[in-house]
Structure 1
């Protein structure tokens, strides 16, 4: 987007804006309506989310290493002992200390990425909604201070928007997630044979997708 590219030429946030421009194609259009400082802050948050998501999406076999990384990061965040020599931890410090992003929301998001690494199936619809809160509802909550939203009654709406978007993504990516050995549709929704290509299995999968989309 030309507006983003123009801003990138005169800002120290070039790396974060580059990431947003390359990967955040949907949000990139919304960035037109943000003031410069809001755009920079949103790009920093997007960069953090992207970095953590890339770690969680690393090829299988690295789970123990990535799990240890998230465990340590979460422990240091909760103890307020983040290391500014680490690029991810420095980014978190900037978001928390300079932009008033709630550290509890970042911690919950990290817990969601831990779930991705553990590959534990979600049993109930509650489990699904809790996961969606962690990886997406928290993003809505973290965007509130960046956008200058201070009314506490608005926070629930921001969380709900994030959850709805994640439910939509899950429903869209059932096959892709299955190929990666992941399943986000709750076990209570239908049988586990989502990957069997039969008319009956496809009907069962569609019914489960409808269940997931209903709260959205």
Structure 2
């Protein structure tokens, strides 16, 4: 896909801190990088959620594995992102895969813990009623426990989403950085461009707030019983 090149401005073309003319001239590039940022974040969260559900189901079925899973995902979570990219780059190159593996991995600790916690908080009498109605353990998990655990699961997804949006800016080192591209370019220019840095940082913050709000609204729509309980 063709990416519109960023067009610099002369030093006297606007205010020294923020230049609206630069934003206007580079609107296409800004939109492209924003879409790239959203795509990377969505892919990381999607992969992380699928893997986390699998690990959580394993932990719920075999309780002895829960500590091992949390310990492993916790160890992966504390690995510095730049270090993870540097280790993976020789194997996968500066590619989407190299960016995606650490981004998805960083969501696992948060999501696995929240899924298991949410299921554990399902009232005992609900499980007993389901068993009395003939539900199998697997059917009860997918049709009763996980739906009732949604508030806690979505709370974890909100944290993971905001964290991932911030981490995606680091992938600019791979040329896949979304909005982080502007932060890197603004710093590396012969004459640093504060406008690029502000655009990259500002839109990242706005994106995090919007995604968090959308997930919160999604939680309210999917779990109307929590509002009635309150």
Q: Do both share a fold (TM > 0.5)?
A: no
**Structure of greater Rg:** 2
Q: TM-score interval w.r.t. the shorter chain?
A: 0.3 to 0.5
Bigger share in helix? 2
TM-score normalised by L of structure 1: 0.40
